Amino acid sequence: MPVTTIAGHEIHVDDEGFMTEYDEWSEDLGKELAAAIGVEMSDDTWGPIKFLRDDFKAEGGHTPTLRRVSTVGGFDTKKLFEMFPKKPAKKMAYIAGLPKPAGCV
Amino acid sequence: MTSTAEAIIPKFDDDESDGGRTLAIICSKGNLDMAYPGLILANAAIGEGVEVHLFFTFWGFDMIIKSRMNDLKFSPSGNTAMHMPVGDVRIPQALAPLPGMQPMATHMLKKQIADLGVPEVPDFLEHIVASGGHLHACRMSADMNHVTLDDLYDGVEDIINASDFIELTAGAQLLFI
C-alpha cells in the first residue's frame, strides 16, 4: 500500500490516493485533503464529512453513497453537488479519509 | 540527490478534461424491472459529473405519469430468468400467467430493491432531478396517452418530439432501454 505525504501528514493510501487507514485521519488533515482537490471547508461542508465518518464506522466499514448521505444524513442533494462539484460522493469520501462508496445507488 | 515524491491525489478529471460528456437515456419500458436500469445508470453518470438527459417514450411513459408511476408491475411471464426465491430453480413458464403470480413477483422485486436501499421509482426520479438530471417526455406518447405536462411528474421539464430530443443530445452517448 503506498504511503504519501499531504501537508506534512504521512498517510497510507490506495493507488488512486484514497486513504486506507481510518485512524490516520484528523480534521486538520481533512482540511488539507479538501484543499488538494480544490474544496474549501466551512461549517456547511463539515456536516456531511462528519456524517460520512460516523456512518462508515456505524455501518461496519461501508462508505455511504450520495443517496444515503441525503436520506439518512439529511443533507440536500442539490447543495452537495454545489459544495463538492460534479463528483460529490467520491470527493466527500476522499476528504473524509474513506474508500470510495461501493454501492450503486 | 533529493527527490520529493509527488503526493498521490485522486484525479477527479472534473475540469475541462472530460470534454463535457453527455449521456442520453431513452426509457421505453414500463415494467418495474425495466424501469430501474435507466434510473441506476442515470444516477451513476450524474454522480460522475456527466450531463444526463432521460427521454421517456412509449411504455416508459408509465414511469412519469403521476397516476401510474407509483404502481409499476413486474411479471414473470415471458421471463425465463425468473427464479424461485432460493436456489437456481426456474419458475415454469406455464405457471407464470396464473392469477396471483404478478402481484407476488412485483412484491418480491420491490422488497429486494428496498432491501438494498434503492428508492422506489418516484423517489428515484426526485433524487435524479435534485442531482441535476434532466427529464423529458415524448410528444407522440403524450398524445397517444392523452396527457399533458400537468399529468406528468413535476420534475419532467417538457414534452418534446423526437427531433427535439435528437437535437438536444447532439454529441451525447446514447442508451436505449
Contact A37, A94 (CB under 8 A): yes
Catalytic machinery residues of A: 104
Give the model confidence (pLDDT) of B18-74 as tens digits: 568 999 999 999 999 999 999 999 999 999 999 999 999 999 999 999 999 999 999
Chains A and B: how many Cβ contacts under 8 Å?
74
Residue in B9, B14, B49 nearest the CB of A17: B9
- By C-alpha distance, the chain A residue nearest B128 is A77
Give the model confidence (pLDDT) of A22-67 as tens digits: 999 999 999 999 999 999 999 999 999 999 999 999 999 999 999 9
Report the alpha-carbon distance of residue B89 to residue B71 in Å, rounded. Answer: 28
Buried b (16+ CB within 10 A) or exposed e, B31-50: bbbbbbebbebbbebbbbbb
Strand (E) or helix (H) holding B77: none
Q: Which of A24, A94, A95, A105 best probes binding to B when mutated, by most B CB atoms within 10 angstroms?
A: A105
CB contact under 8 Å between B10 and A94, yes or no, is: yes
Domains of chain B: 22-176 (3.40.1260.10)
Strand (E) or helix (H) holding B22: strand B22-27
Report the alpha-carbon distance of residue B46 to residue A81 in Å, rounded. Answer: 10
Give the model confidence (pLDDT) of B127-172 as tens digits: 999 999 999 999 999 999 999 999 999 999 999 999 999 999 999 9
**Residue A92 CA to its chain's centroid (Å):** 3
CB contact under 8 Å between A4 and B43, yes or no, is: no
Alpha-helical segments (H) within A9-101: 27-36, 43-58, 66-71, 77-83, 88-95
CB atoms within 10 A of CB A98: 24
